[in-house]
Amino acid sequence: MSKDDRLIYLIFTAQQKLRTYLKNAMAEAGVTITPAQSAILFLLKRKDGQTMSELSSQLTLDNSTLTGLVDRLEREGFVKRNAGTADRRASHVFITGAGSEEIERARVVIRRVNDRIREPFTEGEIEAFKKVLSSFFERFGA
């Protein structure tokens, strides 16, 4: 077996395969949100009423991408937006009851996929993998 040193290619390909696998697993389980939308709902479950800027920063998404994701979540009734009282330009995003129910359905699938990723590896290998992935944030920006 030849060694593949194309790290960027391997990382991007692994990311795409994982994204597709997770999206399909969620759809098969009847979850209607995408993995990207689930990230927004997870953040809102942790701290509701965040601004679009806060969400954009945490998810490292540009504002237009985040706006499209939140627009779709709002159309589906999973979030609602309210203008801020101190700064009316700052839109705050709140998770709805339907959004809370949907993210709990997604959480089950995401945990199952996460467990499948871990399955063939030892705890030491998982820790080394996490260290490698974390180094990207340190070296290439949060």
Residue 85 has pLDDT above 70, yes or no: no
At 101, the amino acid letter reads: E
Structural contact between residues 83 and 91, judged by C-beta atoms closer than 8 angstroms: yes
Beta bridge partners of 94: 80
User: What percentage of the chain reaches a pLDDT higher than 70?
Assistant: 93
Angle at 41 between CA 64 and CA 135, to 5 degrees: 75
The two structure tokens encoding residue 135: 């180094």
The structure's pTM equals 0.85
The CATH number corresponding to 24-140 among 2.10.10.90, 3.40.1160.10, 1.10.10.10, 3.30.420.10 equals: 1.10.10.10
Helix/strand/coil percentages in the chain, nearest 5: 65, 10, 25
